[in-house]
């Protein structure tokens, strides 16, 4: 793993359209600039392959996050910093992933972008579909999101730029 003094896993959690993928890509790009090997594990991508058999029930979400955590742990053991972008709505699932890493090696980044902002962005039209009753179990709309109790970082992306988040998150990186 990377030195326990700096995170080897950055875990980005928040509602759909909170800005997880955007921040994740920017983090990987900045780590690359700093010549640190890194990889973005994104919920959308995992669900196209490794988790293609899973749906959006609470049980399937738990299994999805378990798989993501195990992949992140393997990558970290190869000294690759892993940036994970998952809705990951349940505190217990996130805690299980945290427990896979040494103290200080896991940084939870909670994007607290308000629901109305996420629903206004709605790049995939999910909130509109949920309002029309075409889909159900949309996190934040008719499925729960458990707010992290003690994340290492918390940002509302309607008030914080990507650059400002990067400075706050990577300030400690050499
Ligand atoms: N009902 C419902 N609830 C939440 N999300 C939904 C849903 N239906 C589809 N999607 C899309 O799937 C992406 C969430 O996948 P995740 O693997 O991150 O979800 S989870 O962590 O297992 O809960 C999520 O991606 P992001 O928008 O990037 O968050 C959505 O685009
Ligand atoms: N910091 C930000 N400021 C303004 N808009 C943002 C910010 N981060 C993301 N967005 C916009 O919000 C939308 C959803 O972002 P995305 O990263 O795909 O979210 P998520 O991965 O959480 O679903 C996109 O249209 C993106 O351009």
Name the residue of 126, 128, 129 whose CB sits within 8 Å of the most ligand 1 atoms, as the mutation to test its pocket.
Answer: 126
Query: Exposure string (b/e) for 100-126, b if CB count within 10 Å is 16 or more?
Result: bbeeebbbbbbbbbebebbbebbeeeb
Say which residues have a Cβ less than 8 Å from residue 132's Cβ, sequence separation at least 6: none
* All domains of the chain in start order, with CATH: 9-168 (3.40.50.300)
The pLDDT score that the predictor gives to residue 5 is 56
The pLDDT score that the predictor gives to residue 1 is 46
Q: Which of 173, 151, 153 has its CA nearest to residue 30?
A: 173
- The response to whether residue 17 sits with its C-beta less than 6 Å from ligand 1 reads yes
Per residue in 91-119, pLDDT (tens digit) is 999 999 999 999 999 999 999 999 999 99
User: Which regions of the chain are under pLDDT 50?
Assistant: 1-4, 174
The pLDDT score that the predictor gives to residue 4 is 43
For ligand 1, atom 31, name the residue with the nearest CA.
Answer: 16
The pLDDT score that the predictor gives to residue 171 is 87
The tokens of 7 are what? 């995170």
Q: Is 51 labeled as catalytic in the residue annotation?
A: no
For ligand 2, atom 20, name the residue with the nearest CA.
Answer: 17
The pLDDT score that the predictor gives to residue 116 is 98
Q: Which listed ligand is nearest to 123 at the C-alpha?
A: 2
Q: How far is the CA of 167 from the centre of ligand 1 (A)?
A: 27
């Amino acid at each position: 793993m990377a030195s326990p003094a700096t995170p080897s896993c950055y875990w980005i959690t928040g509602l759909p359209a909170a800005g997880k993928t955007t921040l994740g890509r920017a983090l990987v790009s900045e780590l690359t600039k700093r010549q640190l090997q890194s990889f973005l594990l994104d919920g959308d991508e995992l669900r196209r392959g490794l988790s293609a058999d899973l749906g959006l029930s609470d049980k399937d979400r738990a299994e999805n996050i378990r798989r993501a955590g195990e992949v992140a742990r393997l990558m970290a053991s190869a000294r690759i910093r892993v940036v994970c972008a998952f809705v990951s709505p349940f505190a217990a699932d996130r805690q299980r992933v945290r427990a896979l890493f040494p103290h200080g090696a896991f940084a939870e980044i909670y994007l607290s972008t308000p629901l109305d902002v996420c629903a206004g962005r709605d790049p995939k039209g999910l909130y509109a579909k949920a309002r029309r009753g075409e889909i159900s179990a949309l996190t934040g709309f008719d499925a729960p999101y458990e707010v992290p109790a003690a994340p290492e970082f918390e940002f509302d992306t309607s008030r914080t730029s990507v650059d400002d988040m990067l400075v706050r998150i990577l300030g400690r990186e050499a």
